[in-house]
Amino acid sequence: MAMEFETRWFVYDMIRWPGRYMRLPDCGDVQMGALFAEALGAGKGCDADDVEL
């Protein structure tokens, strides 16, 4: 699974370890992870509209 719960937060492992999920060498994880994080807006908070139930 590419999303895991870690100390109060969900962490998308495709950002941390993209080589594992794309079957590529781990040597590019930092650079590819940064690209995925930027594309997904990681760390910028939820952009969903408030929903009243």
Residue 51 has pLDDT above 70, yes or no: no
Residue 53 has pLDDT above 60, yes or no: no
CB 52, CB 34: distance < 8 Å: no
The residues with which 9 forms a beta bridge, in sequence order, are: 6
Per-residue model confidence as pLDDT tens digits over 1-45: 577 777 777 778 888 888 888 888 878 899 998 998 898 888 777
Q: DSSP of the chain, one letter per residue?
A: --EEEETTEEEEHHHH-HHHHHT--GGGHHHHHHHHHHHHTTTS---PPP---
pLDDT of residue 26: 77
